[in-house]
Structure 1
Amino acid sequence: MTLRVAALTTGLQTPSSRFRIRQHIVPLADYGIAVREFRPVVNNDVDNVLRPLRPKGTRIRDFPPIYPLYFGLLALRLAARLPGVAASWRYDVTWLERGLCGGWPTLERLLGKPLVLDVDDAVWLAQPFGAKQMQRAAERADVVVVCNSYLADWFRRFCRRVELVPTPVDGDIFFPIAKPEDSAFIVGWTGTSANFPYLASIQQALAKFLHHAPEARLRIVADHHPADLNLPPERIEFIQWSEANEATSVQTMDVGIMPLADDAWTRGKCAFKLIQYMACGLPVVASPVGMTAEVLGRGDVGLTARNDSQWLDALIFLYEQRDKAKSLGTAGRTKFLEHYSRGANRQPCGGCPR
């Protein structure tokens, strides 16, 4: 008998929608689980949509002239969610990614059950009422599926069953390739423009490394070009992210980097960049924060860096010790296949409770 699942996702290009739900739809069908996605046509990130319309650095709550437009967009967002909410009562299981309207408790208590709540960030920090939204959603849920122990600890206060499932990558799409020996040495970073401040936090170390290694380049794969990096523009290779090039742009790097601050938000991150790098056989350098430290702790797959000096030393080491860098990348690919590949995570929706 086929189990029918209504998956309520947040957007077409949202990483959590793509990698925590959408990529599993076809494989789950082989197990008799038919997933239909209900995706809103209105973008969930109202804050970013309105950012150009308010003074830089000003929160929406501190700029009353924008209130009418903000609440109008919020109402449209909620209206776009109604088909999914209604469908949740016609299906056997509801699979909710994050929440219905980020930062606002709305109709989560009206969703059909059994309910699987899937979370891959510390979304309870979303303004203005993210904590209340996530508490209500978790209390309604039969199981909460999260990607790391930090998130699990928060949600266990509100739901009896919490499952840990990493955000997996398809190893048949993200895999190592051989680079020409005469190609430039590429230090790569991939992510959304919202995370540019983390990259900017190590720009002094990057500048010193690029001076040390004249033929090296910094590759940035993102939705738009970073405007505030104080680095020689001729040493930066920007690639406009697309679903078509996201794997190849990582495969042709030599080192993958993941700098982070250490705060409540970053501790909830799921080390997704790191997993992509490892899938492609890259040695990695990362800030040992949250799940990133856990992934690096699984084996000799990369180097940690907490300050500019350590970042510089790590990059120079991997640049000068190419054989060691290659062995770290090979070990990373092995650990990826064992723990973070799609094949190693076959129950993405917590077993889809019936």
Structure 2
Amino acid sequence: MVNRRPTRSRRTAASPPLRRKPTPTRQKSIPIRRNRNNLGARKFKRPLTSPGSANYWRERAYTAGYLAATAEDPPLTEEKSNPVENNLHHKVNARWHQWYQSVKRLPWPLYHAAAARFAEGYRKHAGGYFGNRLLVPTTKKVAAIVTVMNEKDTILSVIEQLHRLPLHEIIFIVNGSTDETFEMIRNQSRAIIVHYRHALGHDVGRAIGAKLSESEILLFLDGDFPVFAEHLVPFIDAIERGVDIALNNISPYIGLFSGRDDVTKVKEFINRSMARADLESNSLTAVPHAMRKQAAQLIGYANLAVPPKAQVIAIDKGLQISSPASVDVITPNRLRARNVGQNNAVSELIIGDHIEALKTALDLKGSRLSFADRIRQRPLTRH
């Protein structure tokens, strides 16, 4: 009998028992923060309490507001210190500004959320009614200057939004109105009202309001349509941070150059003539915009009646001009007989103002304005 060697597939009594290779246990992966050097890592979801989250800043602002209220002795009340100011609103705004200066700047949606929680924390201890009022990142005196003519359908909404801000002055220039606008402002607001029975013409009211105001920051509006108070805060903030003039950035709403009207084109040409192509078509002709009181004095109050001319003077004097925010004033603009259709009366007036501004620019810059002559060697003809 032949003894055969057992094959590998057969087991004999002497062969050791087979042991299966243990399967490795799956370890729980640790989330890793995604960064530029680790593009393949899993997306890391930060907890709501991290310093970069919205909830973190809301709760931090709430605590700061509560602590600010506990430091007040005696607690603040709703007493009025002048016909416009609300003592509680302005005092809470001062505490907010003091705290906000100690932290990093926040995006505007998060800013308003944190400011609301700060006011809520303050009221938790001090009591009082704050409503939907806003807090602004400045303690400087701010004035809203509003030109009005037959705006009975919109003026109450304009007043409502202005009362949400901690303003020191509200100045209405009512000119040439034949409806109930004047009575509505007088009954619904504690504002200063300058009433002219005859029409002053475009932009003259802004010059009058700027001269009458005693505030450090001037915020210019029209009574045609309301602008949400939240949208006005960036213009105030720009002046607080050192800008002399804060324009409304209307560039996102004007479309391609081929589709622009003559008014928009001439606005941009004036800015380019003064070597400020970065301003595009943004102009003092569009509201809302803000200005430092000293800047208005330097430009000259009379020149504010012709906004593009005032802008040329401001650029020539080296004033700092920026466009910190965009507010759509084209869509809600009220249609009137004077501003409808091609070559309407309003557009012709604005173009005429820009021609006057161009004349001022030529006087200041010379015949070439800010455009260099790269082709002709003109100095050679003088010998």
**TM-score w.r.t. structure 1 length?**
0.26
Larger CA Rg, structure 1 vs 2: 2
- Larger RCO, structure (CA 8 Å, separation 6 or more): 1
